[in-house]
Amino acid sequence: MRCKNCKNELSENTKFCGKCGQKIDTVTKVTSKKDESEEKKSPLVGVITIVIFIVAFVGFRYLTQEAISPSSNLNTQGGVSKSELIVDTVREIKSATALPIQLDEITMWNNVTAQPSAIRYHYTLSDVDINSLSNDYFKSYLGPILCENQDTRYLLDQGIDMEYSYLVRGSVQSYFVSFTKADCL
């Protein structure tokens, strides 16, 4: 049998995993190599969860009249600068979200950071088949959804890029995609 937490091979009468310390349920089933390959989660589930979370966050902000949108004092002569808008947006996201947060079985949202001209989201993926992932995969999947979002479009129109960084747990593989205003034209 295997530990549900770290997938470490265990002997039959083990009560705790020797690798991660997880308490072992007595009803943990024995898995074969075939079962493990079938258990690999589609990265699509994680990406969908991420997009739903972002849309829900933006929808919540919109419904509470706190949407990121142009205000009467936002102009080029004394308004909010691009770097201030980036920092303020990141601060608002962090205050509304307890990070890190497990979004689904494979996706952990670790952080959101202010970059010089971008807002960067940091994720870790677990138990994914890296052969089915690529930067192009993430860009083509996320692009249409992000470009339809009014708040994201506003940020892009201000010259603020949206960046997504994915690390794969247990691997040196990583992915990075960036969206600019030109991606949504």
In this prediction, residues 5-34 reach a mean pLDDT of 65
In this prediction, residues 36-63 reach a mean pLDDT of 62
Residues 159 and 92 placed together within one structural domain of the fold: yes
Residues 134 and 65 placed together within one structural domain of the fold: yes
Residues 28 and 64 placed together within one structural domain of the fold: no
Residues 84 and 107 placed together within one structural domain of the fold: yes
Residues 76 and 134 placed together within one structural domain of the fold: yes
Is the per-residue pLDDT at 138 higher than 80?
yes
Sign of CA dihedral 146, 160, 97, 104: positive
pLDDT-derived band at 14 (thresholds 50, 70, 90) equals confident
User: Tell me, what's the pLDDT at 29?
Assistant: 45
The total number of structural domains that make up the chain: 2
Residues 5 and 67 placed together within one structural domain of the fold: no
User: Tell me, what's the pLDDT at 20?
Assistant: 72
User: Tell me, what's the pLDDT at 76?
Assistant: 40
Residues 7 and 51 placed together within one structural domain of the fold: no
Residues 97 and 180 placed together within one structural domain of the fold: yes
Residues 32 and 54 placed together within one structural domain of the fold: no
Of the two residues 85 and 24, the one the predictor is more confident about is 85
User: Tell me, what's the pLDDT at 32?
Assistant: 47
Residues 49 and 136 placed together within one structural domain of the fold: yes
Quick: pLDDT tens for 69-122: 444 334 344 578 999 999 999 999 999 999 999 999 999 999 999 999 999 999
CATH number of the domain that 144 lies in? Answer: 3.30.300.250
In this prediction, residues 143-152 reach a mean pLDDT of 90
Backbone angles phi, psi at 98, to 5 degrees: -85, 100
Domain carrying residue 21: 1-39
User: Tell me, what's the pLDDT at 40?
Assistant: 55
Between CA 141 and CA 133 the distance in angstroms is 11
Is the per-residue pLDDT at 126 higher than 90?
yes
Residues 21 and 87 placed together within one structural domain of the fold: no
Reduce the secondary structure of the chain to three states and give it as a string: CECCCCCCECCCCCCECCCCCCECCCCCCCCCHHHHHHHCECHHHHHHHHHHHHHHHHHHHHHCCCCCCCCCCCCCCCCCCHHHHHHHHHHHHHHHCCCCEECCCCEEEEEEEEECCEEEEEEEECCECHHHCCHHHHHHHHHHHHHHCHHHHHHHHCCCEEEEEEEECCCCCEEEEEECHHHHC
For the chain, give the mean pLDDT. 79
In this prediction, residues 119-145 reach a mean pLDDT of 93
Residues 100 and 134 placed together within one structural domain of the fold: yes
Tokens (6 digits) for 134: 């690529």
Quick: pLDDT tens for 170-179: 999 999 999 9
User: Tell me, what's the pLDDT at 17?
Assistant: 74
